[in-house]
Amino acid sequence: MSQAGSGIDLPTSVGYLLKQASSALRTAMDEALRPLGMTITHYSCLELLAQRPGLSNSELARGAFVTRQSMNVLLQALERAGEVTRPDVAPSGRVLPVTLTDRGRRTLAQASAAVRAVELRMLAGLSDREQQEARRILAGLVDALAAPAPTTG
């Protein structure tokens, strides 16, 4: 009977549990990636590029859930480090397609293994059916939040 109507009961709030799970995953991934000298955004960028070569800065930003400004800062560092490449001039419009280099692929291979271990650990207690249910529910939450707020739209 706590917080009757006025607030949000944290321990049972789906939003709070979502943040808690996300925070735990973030911590675990950070710990797995730290020995490799990588951040989560760094890894996400490389993984995105491996699966969809030629993605633009803005597309990478959306895929990694950061702003395109933040992704641009990262891409400049990755270019200097020789993990990705961007053409000097845009082939079309303003979009600069980003490509993984061999060095980038090698870096990703290590990171991907580390992250894979974390994901497997996270899913250890869930049956295949529960994993499917998790995907379905999480996708549902994303869809529901994608709709604009009543007051805004």
Partner DNA sequence: TGACTCATGTCAGAAGTCTGACATACCGTC
Partner DNA sequence: GACGGTATGTCAGACTTCTGACATGAGTCA
Asked if residue 105 binds DNA (CB under 7 A), the reply is no
Nearest approach, Cβ of residue 94 and its own copies (Å): 25
56 contact partners, CB below 8 Å, separation of at least 6: 95, 96, 97, 98
Q: Give rounded-to-5 percent helix, strand, coil for the chain.
A: 65, 5, 30
Closer by beta carbon to DNA, 73 or else 138: 73
CA dist 130 and 138 (Å) reads 12
Q: Which of 39, 85, 101, 110 binds DNA (CB under 7 A)?
A: 39
| Token pair of 25 as six digits | 């995953």
Asked if residue 13 binds its own copies (CB under 8 A), the reply is yes
Answer for the pair 107, 38: CB distance below 8 angstroms, yes or no.
yes
Nearest approach, Cβ of residue 130 and DNA (Å): 29
Q: Which of 36, 59, 63, 72 binds its own copies (CB under 8 A)?
A: 63
CA dist 70 and 75 (Å) reads 9
The DSSP symbol for 93 reads T
> Where on the chain is the footprint of DNA (CB under 7 A)?
30, 39-41, 56-59, 65-70, 72-76, 86, 90, 92-96
Contact positions toward its own copies, by CB under 8 A? 2-3, 6-10, 12-15, 17-25, 27-29, 31-32, 47-48, 50-51, 63, 65, 108-109, 112, 115-119, 121-126, 130-131, 133-135, 137-147, 149-152
